[in-house]
Amino acid sequence: MENKQKTAVIGGGSWATAIVKMLTENNNLIGWYMRNSESISHIKENNHNPKYLASAELDATYLDLSDDINYTIKNYDILIFAIPSAFLTSELNKLKLSLEGKIIFSAIKGIVPETGLIIGEHFNQQYQIPLENIGVITGPCHAEEVAMERLSYLTVACIDEQKATLMGKSLESWYIKVKISDDIIGTEYAAMLKNIYAVAAGIAHGLGYGDNFQSVLMSNAIREMKRFIKKRHKMKRNINNSAYLGDLLVTGYSVFSRNRMFGNMIGKGYTVRSAQHEMSMVAEGYYATKSAFQIKEENATKTPIIDAVYNVLYGNKNPKKEFEKLTNKLD
């Protein structure tokens, strides 16, 4: 991966907008694919995304905007996917070009519903992208705080350390610090799982549980995450590092967390459908819960928190009763 290679962001939501802002801080020309042509026109004229992170200042002179995914794929070498996982397949179905030779970085914190795979595995198995050409961009980092230029930390993971390092340098600025990792599988599973635990934290809050219970819930969640990831990809990793524990905590506790917000609505009595309808953003944890439950069943992993969230979201179980049962399984 050379500095001459051109980078593009695929997606038009909050996280995609935040990544574009980070990349253009270093005065780099960035490709940007988004479906909404009206948003493209607005960004060109007003230098901000009207639908997401409207407060984030963007310099359109450094943006090559397009509503044609094939144009962006053709003209850029490094592709950062920042599309909600539920919509990734429909966007990739628009491709008329091969992804051969492309370097793929996933900024998607979810799992592909159609295949049950995390994003890196999906590109590797479905599009034959070599693992050394696949990377992950993860937190702990909320897009909203990037827009406000508050000090934030990212983790960039790739088997090829040079690719991770160069991507990290392209994202760094005075308010963005980047750590490098070679654990692409573990960091991506952690990014997926923390959304489920944030839903759990939201449900607990909606039910009226306080900070004392939330601390126990998060303590158990990081240990549950460790067991889950170890079953999927055994390697030496420190689960207390920011990419795992830090990302879990910010997603579980932050007022910006859409997954916590979604769970809070469920705890307060909303149905899944009504909560989804009221939210303007996708809660990745909803889709991740079903896939994580299926994976843990295959691997016989002990996951009482995932089980409780699954029973509420997909088993139509009463949240109050399920969390009463869960309180007896935590320590």
The residues annotated as belonging to the active site are: 194
> Closest Cα partner for 207 from 265, 262, 276, 249?
265
Backbone φ, ψ for residue 170 (5° rounding): -75, -20
Q: Angle at CA 111, nearest 5°, toward 94 and 104? A: 55
Tell the residue number behind the tokens 């910006």, with chain if given: 256
> Is there a contact between 265 and 205 (Cβ–Cβ < 8 Å)?
no
Q: Which helix (H) or strand (E) holds 32?
A: strand 30-33
Q: How does DSSP assign 255-286, residue by residue?
A: TT-HHHHHHHHHHTT--HHHHHHH-SS--HHH
Max CA pair span of the chain: 57
DSSP 3-state percent helix, strand, coil across the chain (nearest 5):
55, 15, 35
Q: Residues with Cβ < 8 Å from 69, sequence gap 6 or more? A: 10, 33, 91, 94, 95
Q: Are strands 117-118 and 30-33 parallel, antiparallel or unpaired?
A: unpaired
What count of other Cβ atoms lies within 10 Å of the Cβ of residue 35?
15
Do strands 111-112 and 63-66 pair parallel, antiparallel, or not at all (unpaired)?
A: unpaired
**Tokens (6 digits) for 221:** 């969640």
Distance CA 158, CA 195 (A): 22
Bridge partners (DSSP) listed for residue 63: 30
φ, ψ of residue 285 to 5 degrees: the values are -60, -30
Backbone angles phi, psi at 28, to 5 degrees: -100, 140
